[in-house]
Structure 1
Amino acid sequence: MSTQKSGLKLIASLEALKGVVSLLVGFGIHELAGQNIQAFLENLLRHCHLNPANELPGLLLEKAAILTPSNLNLVVIGALIYAAIRLIEAYGLWFGLLWTEWFALVSGAIYVPFEVYEVFDQQNVLSVIVLGINLAVVYYMYLLVRKPKQE
């Protein structure tokens, strides 16, 4: 297998992982509809021995507090649409469809300014890692789409 195909399959796997996680989140939120999501998450964090005062668990609880029954369906629909896009992109990259190479380049590049902002705003290792991975994907896809295709 060529290095190019290996790179595409790696990126396809990353996109598929994002799609599956989004599906799990969407279905999980849908399953929790009608329950006290805040209390559920607090119990889950306690069960996992995570301190709700720490940055990431605290952020999760903060975001859960804004979920109301009226906007819950929108969040679920958004998660499912995002999952569908990521899974279609993963399929296309895995099988070397040209349009998905361009799509991966553009969709990855769109996030860069937000991720740069996040690095300066949050100043944590996770933000830097996410930005680094996305920059590597965008750069790889850029090199790939500008290279003449040899068939």
Structure 2
Amino acid sequence: MSKSADLRLVAVFEAAKGILVFATACAIFKFIHANVQETAEQLVRHFHLNPASHYPRIFLEIASNLDDTRLLALGFGALAYAVVRLVEAYGLWYGKQWAWIFGLISAGLYIPIEIFELAKRINWAEAVLFLANVMILVILLRGRPR
């Protein structure tokens, strides 16, 4: 693949993350003035999860502590993250130097955290995230725009 095609591949990946987080922000805003705890309990029942097991219990505990202020903060934080990812995707798609630098920094910031998490406990999800960020860094380093 050419350098510009590689950068566009990363741009599509970043745009997909931005769109996914934007959709998540929209969903968060729908829960303002709603009974989040009841909805969380319905989800756990719908998927036939044991509410006493580890992850469902964490999910239900978080849901019980969400009020409108926290939901607004989460929603606006998700919106900000989505805008940053979409702006980066735009810049990478059009081969902008600033987007390339930003991409290197943002992907590079996750590497030490992911190494720390993998050192604590290796699991496939952490390994996939680590490898994805390493691949993005390699693609960005090889595809420096002119």
Structures share a fold, TM > 0.5? yes
Gaps of 5+ in 2: none
After superposition, the Cα gap between the structure-2 partners of 1:52 and 1:13, relative to the gap in structure 1 and judged at 3 Å, is farther
Aligned mates of 2:108, 2:59 — CA distance in 1: 26
Determine if contact 2:107/2:136 at 8 Å carries over to the other structure.
yes
| Mapped contact 2:15–2:85 kept (Cα < 8 A) | yes
Cα shift at 1:109:
0.6
What secondary structure sits across from 1:25 in the alignment?
A: helix
- Between the aligned partners of 1:79 and 1:39, the Cα distance in structure 2 is 23
Does the CA contact (< 8 Å) of 2:22 and 2:79 recur in 1? yes
- SS of 1:33's partner is coil
Once residues 55 and 115 of structure 1 are traced to their aligned partners in structure 2, the CA distance between those partners, rounded to angstroms, is 22
1:136 maps onto 2:135 in alignment: yes
Q: What are the Cα deviations for residues 34-70 of structure 1, in whole angstroms up to 9, with x where unaligned?
A: 2222321232243244555666555544443442222
List aligned pairs for 1:1-150, cutoff 5 A: 3-52=2-51, 57-145=56-144, 149=146
Instruction: Give aligned-pair identity as a percent.
Output: 34
Letter in 2 for 1:125: W
The size of the alignment, in residue pairs, is 146
Is the 2:49–2:56 contact (alpha carbons within 8 Å) kept by the matching residues of 1? yes
Task: Report the alpha carbon displacement of residue 102 of structure 1 after superposing the two structures with TM.
Answer: 0.9
Aligned-residue offset at 1:132: 0.7
User: Greater relative contact order: 1 or 2 (C-alpha under 8 angstroms, separation 6 or more)?
Assistant: 2
Separation (CA, whole Å) in 2 of partners of 1:65 and 1:117 = 30
Structure 1 counterpart of 2:116, one-letter code: Y
Distance 1:53 1:71, change over 3 A: same
Deviation of 1:107 (Å): 0.8
**CA distance in structure 2 between the partners assigned to 1:17 and 1:121 by the alignment:** 29
Gaps of 5+ in 1: none
RMSD over equivalenced CA pairs, Å: 2.3
